Amino acid sequence: MEIWLETSNLSAVQKAYQMGVLHGVATNPTIAARSGLALEDLLQKLLKTQKGPVTAQVVSAKAEAMIQQGLALAAFSERINVKVPVTREGLQAIYELSQKKIPVIATSVFDLNQTLLAARSGASYISPNFSHICEADQDGIEVLRSMVHLLQHYGYSAKILAASLRSTQQAQECCALGVHALTLNETLFDEYVTDHPMTLKALKSFECDWKTAAKSKLI
């Protein structure tokens, strides 16, 4: 299970990286715009802060422009994963970029049809927007379960990267389903790594017991 942190906050990225749990950093046009930095400056800082991949999204609606933007992003760093929305035009861009061995994340995915099409087009990751699926009166977990099953059943190499989660419970359910990767925003990541109260209770008990132990030169 991969954990991607969705943010432009370099301090948050560094802390997650130092825990050893971070796979990569996810951005989108909204995050990039809010950072106040030029995209190339933001990407450079995110690449420097941690050693994993960083995502960046094309912003055109037309295949030809998507392809050119994807090529430019990939040329910026071999660690860039290009995000492309799953539309008719986007599928053409996904195919062309993947044929050039550029890792592509198929994004804005909401149903099984898009999952199949993105996998067929050569996407490395398929990123369903979990919260929006749920808001459309669908059972988000069952939709993701079907996506995972489809990829496994037909032997596609693409991974499911679940995005837009709202709670640690949803993250746990994704793990139980066998979802390959999660994108967590800063708030949800902080909740996800919060110390478990029973662990803290156990540590307190160990600390009290250690005070009665024979003196040690080791610890």
Q: Which of 45, 50, 58 is CA-nearest to residue 102?
A: 58
The one catalytic residue among 48, 83, 101, 201:
83
**Active-site residue flag, 83:** yes
Region of residue 122 (left: phi > 0; alpha: psi -120 to 50; beta: else) = left
Handedness of CA 19, 196, 189, 143 (dihedral sign): positive
- What's the angle, vertex CA 129, arms to CA 139 and CA 181, rounded to 5? 100
Q: Residue 214: pLDDT band by 50, 70, 90 thresholds?
A: confident
> How many structural domains compose the chain?
1
Question: Mean pLDDT across the stretch 30-55?
Answer: 97
Instruction: Return the axis-axis angle of helices 88-99 and 63-76, rounded to nearest 10°.
Output: 40
Alpha helices, DSSP H, located in the chain: 10-19, 29-35, 39-49, 63-76, 88-99, 112-121, 130-135, 140-154, 168-177, 186-192, 197-210
User: Within 13 Å of residue 143, how many CA atoms lie on the same side as its CB?
Assistant: 23
User: Which DSSP letter does residue 215 get?
Assistant: P
Range of the domain at 93: 2-210
Query: Does 206 fall in a domain?
Result: yes
Tell whether 109 is covered by a domain.
yes
Q: Is residue 215 assigned to a domain?
A: no
- The whole-chain average pLDDT of the chain stands at 96
pLDDT (tens digit per residue) in 122-169: 999 999 999 889 888 889 999 999 999 999 999 999 999 999 999 999
Q: What pLDDT does residue 136 have?
A: 83
197 falls within a domain: yes
Q: Report if residue 219 sits inside a domain.
A: no
CATH number, domain with residue 9: 3.20.20.70
Do the domain assignments include residue 217? no
The structure tokens 């990751």 sit at 125
